[in-house]
Homo-oligomer: A and B are copies of this chain.
Amino acid sequence: MLLQAAALTREAFAPFGDVIQCTGSEHYPINAGTTERYHNLAKVDVSEAGGRPIISIFVAQPMPGNPVDLRLMERHPLASQAFMPLSASRFLAVVAPPGEFRVGKLQAFLVAAGQGINYAREVWHHPVLAIDVETRFLVVDREGPGHNCDEIELPAPVQVAF
């Protein structure tokens, strides 16, 4: 099965979470006009079962080739998880709706340089998929008690082209 990555837009990604970007966002000047605040771009949803928000950095090696081979999907029942590259790097996001995993429901997005994403709680997603170069991501997710990661191996080979 071959997925073609679509351009990432807020509208297309809305069922799966937030797109973190300046374009099209509410913004206003602060600090005597020297800074523009693009406000509240992602719903950090980590307080289930006594969770707390944390900030981490993921350093991801680029996936080889195009198309890229996918191996498994995961979901976080207790928390959203946001990824923002710390450089002008694009990456891939592969998602499926919450509930029972259905391979036929997979969707792939090419996240452009300058964009980030926040996977909503319970949304199936592939682990971070850097392409082109080693990529550092700022990640906002959860620490706390409880089981917060389900994994599922893909039942048949899936590739994503971009």
Contact = CB atoms under 8 A, between A and B. Distances in A.
Interface of A: 20-22, 25, 30-32, 34-44, 46-47, 52-61, 63, 71, 82, 84-88, 114, 116, 118, 127-128, 130, 136, 138-140, 143
A88 to B, nearest CB: 7
A83 to B, nearest CB: 11
Nearest to A57: B38
A36 to B, nearest CB: 5
Contacts of A41: 54-57
Given A53-B46, A88-B87, A140-B53, A59 B35 contact: yes
Nearest to A139: B37
